[in-house]
Structure 1
Amino acid sequence: MKQFHFIWLLCMAFTPGAYAQHSHDSLARHQTNNYLKVTAKKSALAGKKLMQGNTKTLDAYILKLQHLHKKVALVDRQIADQLFPGLMAKATALRNQLQSAAQAPAAYFGYLDTLQGSIKYIGQQAAADQNIYLRSKKAVESLQNSLSVTEQTSNLIADGKREIMAVLAPLQSFSAELGGLEKEVYYYKQQIADYKALLTDPKKREEKLLAILRNRPEFQNFMAQNSLFASLFNLPANYNAARSLEDLQTRTQVENVLQRRIGSEAAGRQIASQQMDAARSRFDNFKSKYASNGNVDEVPSFKPNPLKTKRFLNRLEPGGNIQFQRANYYFPTVVDIDAQVGYKFHKSGVVGVGLAYKLGLGQGWAHIAFSHQGFGIRSFLDWKLRGSIYINGGLEGNKPAGFHRIRELKNWNGYQMSAMIGLCHKVKAGAKKTATTTLLYDFLAARQLPGSQPFKIRFGYTFK
């Protein structure tokens, strides 16, 4: 038995590739399973939100058309009956078949193309559990359908808006209604853009596997042959391969070839010019089919509110800070550790609340001792003044009393109030992290027992 065990160890020592390959395969399957789970969950959630947004927007659009129909009919019955019944019929038809609407060509969405390609590649390589793969594939197909329906809804409402504005703008008596319709269309498109931005924000597990896949030549070749981008432009299989420029034609060579084929006569050049015009027309048609809706004529005539389409959770800004207070005759050195959450109610303003824990550090380096020194409740308001400078203020209630058990905090008596105002400097410290330095003045510092320093400085971070 010992001899067999020794021989097995020798085999494993001299064949590390087999063991490493087995470990790599199992790790790859674990990664792909996690990737498919993340993408399936994300795709299902995004598709659900898109369909809910389409339903809500179409309902509001139909009600708006009915309201405008009645109002315009009071001024000109003929214009109202010619314009609105057709628009309402189209909107109602799409609203009634949202779940079963046929897919239509939509704007190219790079993330969805990569998502579909990676899932198809994983399926062909059998690198994940079959049930997980099928669920992810179904969720992505459903997302694709939701994006197609969203594109149809957006185009229908945008076309309706243009028709209505073209007819009613000369009347000059429906400016308020036209302004409201323009805002609804704009914010609906902004909401779609926000959903897509959330969808394209990769999770760590998703980003890790995509990085592994992109480094594989076989995956690059697979995407070059099977992605929507490759099919649109008919890219060759070796599109991403590094190639020498020695075989490429120079401009002079191209001009010589053209001259040999079409000649130098005016008729030949005219035919070539017509062919170029036809190609340009086809390209313009392609752009209208696949380009985004951010055209120049879609620039709003009002000042948009960037927070209008943000959900409540997306407006929250969690964070924290610390503040040190020197020791005195009554209390040791104290550090206030604050956890807070703010709500962005305006593009320049944040309001929020926080809880602070007071940790005692002792009476100097020679007498370091940790102790509970109380807690505090805070409220704050940040308002942007200029650049990275904000005005900061708020009310705070602090209970600077030591305690040994949590139940001792049930006594709400003994709070000392602070009224703070000052300046805050914010600097980006990462993609979703901002460093803050705040200098505050406490107007009620002299009323506290024992008295505290009126000026306070806090260092912290917010995460968003």
Structure 2
Amino acid sequence: MVPYVWLRKAVICLGVLIASFSVSYGQSVDSLANKALNFPSKLFNRIKRKAGDLDQQLTRQTEKYLQKMARQEQRLKKKLAKKDSVAAARLFANSEQQYAAMMQKFKADPASFKSTNLSGTYQPYTDSLGTALRFLQQNPQFTSAAGKDAGLVQDASAQFQQLQGRMQNTEAVNAFVQQRRQLIKQYLSQYTHLPAGLDKEYQGLNQQAYYYTQQVQHYKDMLNNPDELEKKALSLLRQTSAFQDFMRSNSQLASLFHLPGNSANSSTPQAALAGLQTRDQLQQMIQGQIAPGGQGGMDALSQNIQSAQSQLSTLKDRLRQYGTGGGNIESPDFKPNNQKTKTFWGRLEYGANVQTSRTNYNFPTVTDFALTVGYKLNNRNSVGVGASYKMGWGSGINHIALSSQGVGLRSYLNIQIKGSWSATGGLEYNYETPFSSFKQIHNLDWWTRSGLVGVMKTVSVKSRFLKKTTMQLLWDFLSYQQVPKTQPILFRVGYGF
């Protein structure tokens, strides 16, 4: 009896501990849901600044895009007028005014963003952040104990919604341009012999439309990329039951799928999922179809599933390649240059390289440390400039002596040949005389020229700071003209950031 009594007491004590833990945990959750979360003011300033910058970039790119399309149509008009002036005048009547009116509407009337207007790719972070800002705007008690950040939340929310509305307006821009392109295409299809260059001008319209769609998608991806502060704020906010209820009723995903808990859409989970087949229903249907075929039916089903998976993978690759900006997805009839969708600063590449020259009678062992900055012309080619500093090490292990042996200025051109191999070349100017002050190197007559050509091997690196490593084998075809003669074959190791 004694062990039974002790066991019963132990069970009762354990139950009391579990109940008290549950109560305390529930109280902590409730207290979190009812107290101010004290978000830092810089969070809302950062959101406002990020949305404002993207809004300006999107507006600027849209204006440039519409101006280019208007100029492209005017060139088409001039070429078509050589064949049929009446048709050209009718086709392009007031086209410049139409593009200008579209731009004015885009700039002056950003659409009021509505969470139900979900098009293109679903952006989960953008949806969560937009819903969170609306929640904090309607519930200022969660921002700070005194509600002092209510104004910051309102400004950030207004700027964020304006950006989302502007992005929705890009759909109207795309629809307008698509309509113009279709109209021009119908006119041009009536002629069997078009003036020289007319087809090229029309292809220019298609290219501009493609790059604009990709640019808009790039801005959406930038908006959907949170920083650490925003991630922590959303993580903290998701722990509150009030925000969870608000998210279920007001997010884009809720409006799309009519999630349970959204009173505006459905009152019960069954009503929310009405019309969707359950897993059990699908299994019963599949078994009913393959049962008469026996093992042969199972084999046929497996083959069909593999074929379907292959087709889905192909479709996913196509969507990933051509973007998903909403609307019609068109396969470009040219080879896209993905660099054109990036900003000027986004097309820059930074690097450093090291080159050691051997010891000879005239020069000590010298190491060139260089920094470079390049501009990507397209996905395969880039040009750039750089500067180097030449450090001397002495003439051997027993005669180490650090010295400044010169400086250099360089340019380069990289052309990808195949895979990770590229042809590279450039022109360099080097000051190869020891110096103690930079005032000594201003005389250009003391600088020597180098003309370099060679090959480069690129190795990708998975690192936080380094993107790639390069190895270059170069021939200086101007080295034979130098007095004293410099090293003709050079080997450099570089790093890309």
Matched, 1:383 2:415: yes
Equivalent residue for 1:151?
171
**CA positional deviation for 1:331:** 3.8
- The answer to which of 138-147 and 301-310 deviates more is 301-310
Amino acid in structure 1 at the alignment position of 2:143: A
Separation in 2 of the partners of 1:343 and 1:164? 36
2:227 matched to which residue of 1?
206
- Give the direction of change, closer, same or farther, for the CA distance of 1:444–1:64 in structure 2 (3 Å limit): closer
What is the distance in 2 between the residues matched to 1:221 and 1:430? 41
Structure 2 matches for 1:2-151, cutoff 5 A? 29-30=39-40, 33-62=41-70, 91=99, 93-101=101-109, 103=111, 105=117, 107-108=119-120, 110=123, 112-121=126-135, 123=137, 124=139, 125-126=142-143, 129-151=149-171
Within 5 Å, which residues of 2 pair with 1:226-375? 226-236=250-260, 250-251=280-281, 292-293=325-326, 295=328, 298-375=330-407
Cα deviation for residue 165 of structure 1 reads 1.3
Over the matched positions of the two proteins, sequence identity in percent amounts to: 30
- Residues 66-111 of structure 1 deviation map (CA, whole Å, 9 limit, x = unaligned): 6666776786688668755597776554344333336284634515
Query: Deviation at 1:358?
Result: 0.9
Which secondary structure state, in structure 2, belongs to the residue aligned with residue 194 of structure 1?
helix
Query: Following TM superposition, by how much is the alpha carbon of 1:208 offset from its aligned partner in structure 2, in angstroms?
Result: 4.5
Task: Decide which moves more: 167-176 or 75-84.
Answer: 75-84
For the Cα contact (< 8 Å) 1:358–1:372, is it kept in 2? yes
Structure 1 position 338, deviation (Å): 0.3
Report the CA distance between 1:435 and its aligned residue: 1.2
Give yes or no for contact 2:245–2:261 (8 Å, CA) kept in 1.
yes
Aligned equivalent of 2:306: none
Output the CA distance in 2 between the equivalents of 1:98 and 1:129. 31
Give me the whole-angstrom Cα distance separating, in 1, the residues matched to 2:91 and 2:360: 79
Whether the 8 Å CA contact 2:467–2:496 is kept in 1: the answer is yes
Indicate if the aligned counterparts of 1:158 and 1:185 stay in contact, CA closer than 8 A. no
Distance 1:43 1:313 in 2: 19
Deviation at 1:65, TM superposition (A): 5.2
Displacement of 1:44? 1.4
**What are the superposed Cα offsets for residues 129-160 of structure 1, whole Å, 9 maximum, x if unpaired?**
33433332222122122212221111111122
Pair 302,143 (structure 1): closer, same or farther in 2 beyond 3 Å: same
What secondary structure, in the 3-state scheme, does the structure 2 residue paired with 1:120 have?
Answer: helix
Are residue 193 (structure 1) and residue 214 (structure 2) matched? yes
User: Cα offset for 1:294?
Assistant: 6.6
Check 1:203–1:369 CA distance in 2 against 1; reply closer, same or farther (3 A cut): farther
Per the alignment, do residues 116 and 399 of structure 1 end up closer, same or farther by CA in structure 2, a change over 3 Å counting?
Answer: same
Deviation (angstroms), 1:375: 0.6
- For residues 82 and 437 of structure 2, the distance between their equivalents in structure 1, rounded to whole angstroms, comes to 73
SS of corresponding position for 1:380: strand
1:448 CA drift (Å): 3.9
Aligned AA for 1:236? P
Query: Match for residue 393 of structure 1?
Result: 425
What is the alpha-carbon distance in structure 2 between the residues aligned to residue 422 and residue 338 of structure 1? 18
What SS does the aligned partner of 1:301 have?
coil
1:323–1:456 CA contact under 8 A, matched in 2: yes
Q: Does the aligned pair in 1 maintain the 2:354–2:370 contact within 8 Å?
A: yes
Distance in 2 of aligned mates of 1:70 and 1:445: 53
How far did 1:186 drift? 3.4
Cα offset, 1:190, TM superposition:
1.7
Q: Is the 8 A contact 1:36 1:119 kept in 2?
A: no
Instruction: Write the letter of the residue equivalent to 1:47.
Output: D
Q: Could you list the runs of 5+ residues in structure 1 that have no partner in the other structure?
A: 1-20, 240-247, 256-290
Local SS of the residue matching 2:177: helix
Using the size of structure 1 for normalisation, the TM-score is 0.71
Q: After superposition, where does 1:179-190 map in structure 2 within 5 Å?
A: 179-190=200-211
**More divergent stretch after superposition (156-165 vs 411-420):** 411-420
SS, match of residue 146 in structure 1? helix
1:356 deviates by 0.5
8 Å Cα contact 2:431/2:441 also seen in 1: no
RMSD of the alignment, in Å? Answer: 4.0
Amino acid at match of 2:488: P
- Normalised by the length of structure 2, the TM-score is 0.67
Alpha-carbon distance change, 174 to 117 in structure 1, aligned in 2, over 3 angstroms: farther
Q: Provide closer, same or farther for how the CA distance between residues 340 and 63 of structure 1 changes in structure 2, counting only shifts above 3 A.
A: closer
Alignment partners' CA distance in 2, 1:458 and 1:116: 49
| Deviation of 1:458 (Å) | 1.1
* Count of residues in Structure 1 that have an aligned counterpart in Structure 2: 396
Q: Helix, strand or coil for the counterpart of 1:193?
A: helix
| Residue in structure 2 matching 1:419, options 404, 427, 451 | 451
Residue 457 (structure 1) aligned with residue 491 (structure 2): yes
Question: Deviation of residue 122 (structure 1)?
Answer: 5.2
Larger deviation: 55-64 or 161-170?
A: 55-64
| Greater Cα shift, 320-329 or 361-370 | 361-370
Q: CA distance change for structure 1 residues 89 and 204 in 2, over 3 Å: closer, same or farther?
A: closer
Residue by residue over 1:259-313, the C-alpha shift from the partner in whole angstroms, topping out at 9 and shown as x without a partner, is xxxxxxxxxxxxxxxxxxxxxxxxxxxxxxxx744745x2233444444454433
Distance 1:208-1:456 versus aligned 2 partners, 3 A rule: farther
- Paired position in structure 1 for 2:5: none
Find the residue that maps to 2:108 and give its secondary structure: coil
Secondary structure, in 3 states, of the residue corresponding to 1:43? helix
